[in-house]
Amino acid sequence: MSVRISKSAFLSARQCEKRLYLQKHQRELATPRAEDQLAMMQMGIEVGELARKRYPGGVLVEVSAELHGEERKAAQLALTQSLIESNVPAIFEATFEYQGLFVRVDIMVRHPKGWAVYEVKASTNPKKKHLDDLALQVFVLKGLGVHLKRAGVMLLNNRYEKSGDINLEELFKVKDFTKKCLMQREEIAWDLKHYQELIEKESVPEISIGAHCTSPYECEFREHCWAGIPRDSILSLSGNKAVAWSFWEKGIKRMEDIPEEDLEALSPMQKLHVQAQKDQLVHLDRIALSAFLDGLNGPLHFLDFETFASAIPMYDGSGPYEQIPFQFSLHIQQGEKLLHRSFLADATLGEDPRKAFTEALLESISPEGDILVYNISFERRIIQHLAHHLEEYAVPLNKLIHRMKDLIDPFSERMVYFPEMKGKTSIKNVLPALVPEMSYAHLDIANGATASFEFAQLMQKKSPDNEAEIRQQLLNYCEQDTLAMVEILHVLQSL
């Protein structure tokens, strides 16, 4: 009998054969999934469950929770077979095995001329990895002689805007991959045999680290395989990673070792990164920086938003993954005085926070003066969406956009570069370089992703006992972001 291999194990092997081997034999070397990864997986499950509602009368392949291992798989295979032989209009999580390859099909829909199979993804764009996933299912089903009419990936439609109840026909869209899946059958058969032999080998395959460690998936064995790679190796080179990997493969492991003639292959920011790593000097374009600073008009506002995004739109006038703002922090420099204002929605109310957010924002910002944000595209996009959704506030919101300036410009336009920035211009890299005494290390919430995650937990009432504590942590974090901007500007002015 062939060695059994699951669809996800097969896809792991496509990424890296060592990954497959470690999954089978040394699972304990994997790094456990982080909370935000688990939250993403949960979101995927919810999207999958919602997609099933498009097919009333469909039956889920669900077996007793007391069954485990081989017994469980056998029961799933048997139940799937009996549903195929029945006349149910659709089957969810149908389970099949062919030549040792074990797959589950998210949705199978019965048509008079054969089955349509759909792989549901909580994504808005089709990707190569979706096609590869679906092609394995088609390989198995065709191998078993199941009559297929269509194979497609069911994705979220990013043009959909919720209005009243979710319209499932409009929320989902299907990308047809039937022909492309059929074309992969021969290659899959060859790979399957190869992977089955690999699993039975005595030793782990010798595969070096590479770009495949993060693409198409972040590998769970990175900590293990990357142990011993210094933090300041050439792999920490900012920007396009292909450049860093090409040096690495040539044996150039540190930035200091890049030959002069190869520096031309680098982007301007990468060159600065390498140069500063070598000489440890601050780069300063005084003329450009002065022009930036002279162009600022007070009173200066320092503004930062926190948002969350849900794959399934929660509120009318929002679409899949639309960023919903729930919090802002605002510092206003008025002469010597620094004022602070903030807003944090009450997550437990279960209400759309955008109106209260907008009203608090418009009330807090003075009528004059520039509004500094860090990476303007994000805040500008949020305000544009608010203006579209809340027409009554469109005029004052659009006026805010015209007053916004970007504090990232001195760094992204290479007016200022400190070696400690490590080639990156995010506020989390710039702050420790310019204001080393100020950090995020003491904060319980120290990045935007965690802030969104914690707010979502509050919305789902998953942290009722420490709600007040989490709210305070969110307030502290967002305030730190705008205070960091104030301090960064002071340093730029002192330069």
Binding interface with ligand SF4 (CB under 6 A):
15-16, 18-19, 22, 207, 209, 212-213, 219, 221-222, 225
- Taking the complex as a whole, the smallest distance from the CB of residue 479 to ligand SF4 amounts, in Å, to 38
The residue (of 15 and 364) whose beta carbon lies closer to ligand SF4 is 15
The residue (of 119 and 191) whose beta carbon lies closer to ligand SF4 is 191
The residue (of 16 and 199) whose beta carbon lies closer to ligand SF4 is 16
- Taking the complex as a whole, the smallest distance from the CB of residue 462 to ligand SF4 amounts, in Å, to 32
The residue (of 194 and 461) whose beta carbon lies closer to ligand SF4 is 194
- Taking the complex as a whole, the smallest distance from the CB of residue 235 to ligand SF4 amounts, in Å, to 12
The residue (of 15 and 425) whose beta carbon lies closer to ligand SF4 is 15
Count Cα atoms within 13 angstroms, Cβ side, for 476: 15
- Beta strands 416-417 and 148-156 are unpaired
**Could you tell me the CA-to-CA distances from 361 to 18, 357, 366, 367, 390 in Å, in that order?**
52, 6, 10, 12, 13
Residue 450 corresponds to which tokens in the numbers above?
């965690």
The residue (of 207 and 376) whose beta carbon lies closer to ligand SF4 is 207
The residue (of 219 and 303) whose beta carbon lies closer to ligand SF4 is 219
- Taking the complex as a whole, the smallest distance from the CB of residue 73 to ligand SF4 amounts, in Å, to 26
- Taking the complex as a whole, the smallest distance from the CB of residue 224 to ligand SF4 amounts, in Å, to 7
- Taking the complex as a whole, the smallest distance from the CB of residue 20 to ligand SF4 amounts, in Å, to 8
Cα separation, 335 vs 337, whole angstroms: 5
Cα separation, 138 vs 164, whole angstroms: 37
- Taking the complex as a whole, the smallest distance from the CB of residue 34 to ligand SF4 amounts, in Å, to 16
Cα separation, 50 vs 55, whole angstroms: 10
24 by Cβ neighbours in 10 Å (0-12 / 13-18 / 19+) ranks as middle
The residue (of 16 and 365) whose beta carbon lies closer to ligand SF4 is 16
- Beta strands 371-373 and 300-309 are parallel
The residue (of 245 and 440) whose beta carbon lies closer to ligand SF4 is 245
Cβ–Cβ < 8 Å for 330, 475 = no
- Taking the complex as a whole, the smallest distance from the CB of residue 63 to ligand SF4 amounts, in Å, to 32
The residue (of 113 and 231) whose beta carbon lies closer to ligand SF4 is 231
- Taking the complex as a whole, the smallest distance from the CB of residue 209 to ligand SF4 amounts, in Å, to 5
Residue 118 corresponds to which tokens in the numbers above?
């759909």
- Taking the complex as a whole, the smallest distance from the CB of residue 30 to ligand SF4 amounts, in Å, to 9
Q: How far is CA 402 from the centre of its chain?
A: 30
